């Protein structure tokens, strides 16, 4: 179980169908369970899973023809290089964190939660990988939650939005496909059975998310429904969470007013 201290509350996370370890936490979150947790606030979560049990040759055959071509070109012509760390030294975590913050700034996202990243590393479930160009410049970083059976993508970051050169943007796209493929092979070699792309958009209106779906679908796999569930275990957590919900409702426009 992962534990980390927020500003007001201590949180614990249990992933997939692992069992919680008895620790004093205010909020216990079950992430991507196969079934809802009794007594918890549960929400469905859709994701794309790749079965890693077939041979590497069989896995490669499930990828789209265009994706296989881009992976080969990345390795043979572009000369991109792959590195992965199951136990991440501080300098690797720092390099990823700095790169991610640049990526997040481009997309209008918040900066990386370093407390959470350190909690993952302390629990022994953090996996980081990077692909560089032939000169050694970082192109793409991936971060996964990894246990004995499943590797789940948490973060994927590249800086193609700050690149105007179309050839370099295309290189980054090929590098990202090569990156996912190398992640899968490394996890397979470690005995991990399932690769989890970390989400699947079920809607029909968000064009960016639909594009991400198309990218993921290039690798094959099956869309499944899991559940994210939250238990408020202390009076303090119930008070603060309910107060937050009340404040959110109070800020909603009323009687047609615009804010």
What would the 3-class secondary structure string for 19-63 be?
A: CCCCCCCCEEEEEEECCCCCCCEEEEEEEEEEECCCCHHHHHHHC
Coil/strand/helix, residue 3: strand
Beta-carbon contacts of 164 under 8 Å, excluding residues fewer than 6 positions away, are none
Nearest to 39 by CA among 236, 232, 250, 235: 232
Q: What CATH number was assigned to the domain covering residues 48-223?
A: 3.40.630.30
Q: Which pLDDT belongs to residue 40?
A: 94
Q: Which pLDDT belongs to residue 259?
A: 37
Show the DSSP H helices in 160-206 as ranges.
166-189
Helix (H) or strand (E) holding 249: helix 235-250
Q: Which pLDDT belongs to residue 238?
A: 83
How far apart are alpha carbons 23 and 235 in whole angstroms?
16
Question: Over its length of 259 residues, how does the chain's per-residue pLDDT go in tens digits?
Answer: 899 888 888 999 999 988 888 778 999 999 999 999 999 999 999 999 999 999 999 999 999 999 999 999 999 999 999 999 998 899 999 999 999 999 999 999 999 999 999 999 999 999 999 999 999 999 999 999 999 999 999 999 998 777 778 899 999 999 999 999 999 999 999 999 999 999 999 999 999 999 999 999 999 999 999 999 999 989 888 888 777 666 565 555 544 443 3
The domain limits of the chain are 2-45+227-250, 48-223
**Measured torsion, CA atoms of residues 110, 115, 120, 126, in degrees rounded to the nearest 10:** 60
């Amino acid at each position: 179980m992962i534990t980390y201290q927020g500003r007001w509350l201590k949180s614990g996370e249990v992933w997939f169908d692992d069992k919680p370890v008895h620790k004093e936490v205010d909020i216990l979150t079950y992430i991507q369970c196969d079934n809802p947790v009794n007594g918890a606030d549960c929400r469905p979560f859709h994701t794309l899973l790749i079965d890693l049990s077939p041979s590497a040759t069989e896995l490669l055959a499930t990828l789209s023809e265009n994706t296989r071509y881009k992976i080969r070109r990345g390795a043979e012509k572009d000369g991109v290089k792959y590195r992965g760390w199951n136990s991440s030294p501080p300098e690797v975590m720092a390099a990823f964190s700095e790169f991610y913050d640049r990526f997040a700034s481009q997309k209008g996202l918040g900066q990386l939660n370093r407390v959470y990243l350190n909690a993952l590393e302390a629990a022994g479930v953090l996996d980081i990988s990077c692909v560089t160009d032939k000169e050694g410049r970082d192109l793409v970083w991936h971060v996964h939650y990894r246990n004995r059976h499943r590797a789940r993508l948490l973060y994927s970051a590249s800086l193609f939005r700050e690149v105007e050169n179309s050839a370099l943007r295309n290189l980054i796209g090929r590098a990202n496909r090569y990156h996912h493929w190398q992640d899968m092979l490394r996890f397979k070699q470690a005995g991990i059975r399932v690769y989890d792309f970390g989400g699947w958009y079920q809607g029909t209106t968000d064009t960016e998310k639909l594009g991400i779906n198309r990218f993921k679908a290039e690798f094959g796999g099956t869309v499944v429904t899991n559940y994210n569930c939250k238990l408020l275990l202390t009076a303090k957590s119930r008070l603060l969470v309910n107060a937050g919900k009340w404040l959110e409702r109070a800020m909603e426009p009323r009687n047609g007013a615009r804010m």
